[in-house]
Amino acid sequence: MLVSPPRKRRFTAGTGLGARISAAALAAILLLAVLAASGSGPARAQDAAAEDPGPALLVRTDSPRDTLQSFLELRDEMERQLLAYLAAPSLAGAHGLALLSDQMVALQDLELVPPVARRETGIETGVYLMDIFGRLPAPDLSALPDTSGLESEEARNVRIPGTPLRIVLMEDGDREGEYLFSGQTVQSAPRFYRSIRYLPLRTALPIESFASFSPQLTGPLVPPGVLAAIPPSLRTLWLGTPAWKVLAFGIVTAIGIVAVAQLHRAVSARPVSHRVLGLAVKALVPLALAALAVWLLPFAMFQINLAGDFAEYAGKAFGVVLHIALAWLFAIAVRMAAEWLILSPRIPDESLDANLLRLLSGLIGIVGATIILAFGGQAIGLPIASVLAGLGIGGLAVALALRPTLENLVGGVMLYVDRPVRVGDFCCFGGQMGTVEVIGIRSTRIRALDRTLISVPNAQFADMQIINFSKRDRLLIDETLGLRYDTGADAMRTVIDRIRAHLAAEPSVEPATLRVRFTGYGESALNVNVRIYIMTVDFDEFLAIRERLFLDIFGIVQDCGTDFAFPSQTVYLSGEAGPALSALQAGAQREPA
């Protein structure tokens, strides 16, 4: 009852953190390891084999009489084992006392007590009950209903004669149908004990009361000589725990905190370029925090034996640390899963898919960590409904404050859904052109033609008209050739036919889209339109093919005896006749009168 057993969950710390971990941190880690292993070493195993605490008593809660009788039997057995433990402290004796403590706690209704404080509260209540029943006359068990008298309504809530203590029927929950000391008894037992503590205590132990003796008891690791050397001033109670225990617990906790801080410094000083491995290294810090909360507190409860309000506060503090470490680990684990998926060759590191995975992993990590922290609040006594409601209101306030950021997050998601561009695509947007380099969570970065870097918020970029040149399945040549006006009709037909035939024989030209036509009379040239699609999406290859075809067309035009026109004007001076006017005049002269 008076000591807590060590938890069986353990964490093993790895080695190889490098010279960055100082000697002080290593010493702290080693000391914590020794303290944690002190309850399970070979010497303690020999003690356990040498002394058997005996089988646990049968605890029955079928009726109010069975519950009270079970408690009285546990009290007598507790006194017997305490006498043996004081004579020869051992690990087996401590485990026997812890087992009896758990059985006493099991006789109480502790639903109204926060989960992290239930065992300490139950042990403290058991101590007061031992003091109460050790001072009052032995209760008449026949006055309480047994299994044959449970039909009456009074049997559901029975008051032990001469006390305010009650045994009630559990009507729901995991303990439904059992008779336990009521939650009201858990609250009234300390007050009732203080009112009768002047009465003599019937016990074979050399103590005046269990309430004053229990906080002074320690685990088998603390030598009796050390206890004898503690001055009376350090035996006074601070929040229900002797002052020397509070100081010892503070020193052990400080060592653990220093060890975790040194580990964090070592991890931060050695950044890892590999994303997944880097996150795994970062997870060592929350793992160390979880280990601190999982086995440091049980060690302290088992060896130092905290008690009273201080034990409850310590339990809540370590519960908070544990849930923070679990939330931290969950967030890192989700990010590691996302980075592991991004390692796939099909997902480029800076692509939209990769950034969306990181965004989703961040959101999942935040939601999961929030839920873990909410349950942690419930474990220390905060109502989870109120915690979640508070988080919801706080989340709304944060959402309003971060509205532009959230808009960009949504814009990033829309870019992923619509997929107008990908990393490496050449596009035109808002009157500018460039190559997409990074599509991030908040913004998209584009390398412009002049090599400047343009950063566009995702919310704006998603609303723009985007022309993605990289999505073309073929590239277009749409060129107008200007031939000289002195090109004859036959020469024009020859030029068009030869250009059409040459392009049709070109393997890189799509034949179905080939078009070469005389399209009209320009101001200074006869216009021939050449419109073809080149079967490539590589722009450099397209430029090379277009250059070669243009040179071929240039040769065809010259071979046909004509040439390309250039902008020009013909000026006729006064008194001179142009070619057209001279032809008209000559025609008029040949006409008969």
| pLDDT for residue 586 is more than 80 | no
Mean per-residue pLDDT, 286-312: 77
State the Cα–Cα distance between residues 99 and 66, nearest whole angstrom.
Answer: 19
Q: pLDDT value at position 311?
A: 76
Question: Angle at the Cα of 43 (from 37 to 47), degrees rounded to 5?
Answer: 115
Tokens describing residue 482:
């200007």
Q: pLDDT value at position 31?
A: 38
Least confident interval from 75-89, 331-345, 403-417, 516-530 = 403-417
Environment class of residue 571 by beta-carbon count within 10 Å: exposed (0-12), middle (13-18) or buried (19+)? exposed
**Residue type at 139?**
P
Task: Give 93-128 pLDDT, tens digit per residue.
Answer: 888 888 888 888 989 988 888 777 788 888 888 889
Q: pLDDT value at position 511?
A: 87
Q: pLDDT value at position 14?
A: 37
Q: Say which residue the tokens 């695509």 belong to.
A: 425
Q: pLDDT value at position 515?
A: 92
Domain boundaries, the chain: 40-220, 411-471, 472-593
Q: pLDDT value at position 302?
A: 72
pLDDT range class, residue 32, cuts 50, 70, 90: very low
pLDDT range class, residue 8, cuts 50, 70, 90: very low
Q: Which residue, 454, 425, 422, 459, is CA-closest to 442? A: 459
pTM: 0.55
Task: Give 544-574 pLDDT, tens digit per residue.
Answer: 999 999 999 999 998 888 888 887 766 766 6
Neighbours of 285 (CB within 10 A): 21
Mean per-residue pLDDT, 293-299: 75
Sequence-ordered list of residues with C-beta below 8 angstroms from that of 113, at least 6 positions apart, any chain: 121, 122, 186, 381
C-beta of residue 129 within 8 angstroms of C-beta of residue 71: yes
| pLDDT for residue 529 is more than 90 | yes
Instruction: Please state the separation of Cα 528 from the chain's center in Å.
Output: 66
Q: pLDDT value at position 551?
A: 92
Mean per-residue pLDDT, 304-314: 77
Q: Say which residue the tokens 């590239």 belong to.
A: 475
Q: pLDDT value at position 399?
A: 56
Q: Which residue has the higher pLDDT, 380 or 449?
A: 449
Three-class DSSP labels, 173-233: CCCCCCEEECHHHHHHHHHHHHHHCCCCCCCCCCCCCHHHHHHHCCCCCCCHHHHHHCCHH
Percent of the chain whose pLDDT exceeds 90: 8
Task: Give 366-375 pLDDT, tens digit per residue.
Answer: 888 878 877 7
CATH 3.40.50.720, domain 411-471, yes or no: no
Q: pLDDT value at position 350?
A: 52
Mean pLDDT of the chain, nearest integer: 77
Task: Among 236-245, 293-302, 346-355, name the most confident range.
Answer: 236-245
| pLDDT for residue 57 is more than 70 | no
| pLDDT for residue 27 is more than 70 | no
Q: Which residue has the higher pLDDT, 58 or 469?
A: 469
Q: pLDDT value at position 383?
A: 66
State the Cα–Cα distance between residues 57 and 107, nearest whole angstrom.
Answer: 13
C-beta of residue 249 within 8 angstroms of C-beta of residue 170: no
pLDDT range class, residue 43, cuts 50, 70, 90: very low
Instruction: Please state the separation of Cα 220 from the chain's center in Å.
Output: 40
Environment class of residue 123 by beta-carbon count within 10 Å: exposed (0-12), middle (13-18) or buried (19+)? buried
Mean per-residue pLDDT, 296-323: 77
Mean per-residue pLDDT, 58-85: 88
| pLDDT for residue 231 is more than 50 | yes
Q: pLDDT value at position 587?
A: 54
| pLDDT for residue 170 is more than 80 | yes
Q: pLDDT value at position 18?
A: 38
State the Cα–Cα distance between residues 109 and 178, nearest whole angstrom.
Answer: 10
State the Cα–Cα distance between residues 93 and 25, nearest whole angstrom.
Answer: 34
Mean per-residue pLDDT, 238-254: 82
Least confident interval from 39-53, 188-202, 359-373, 385-399 = 39-53
Sequence-ordered list of residues with C-beta below 8 angstroms from that of 196, at least 6 positions apart, any chain: 132, 135, 136
Q: Which residue has the higher pLDDT, 271 or 402?
A: 271
Mean per-residue pLDDT, 575-588: 56
Q: Which CATH class is domain 472-593?
A: alpha beta
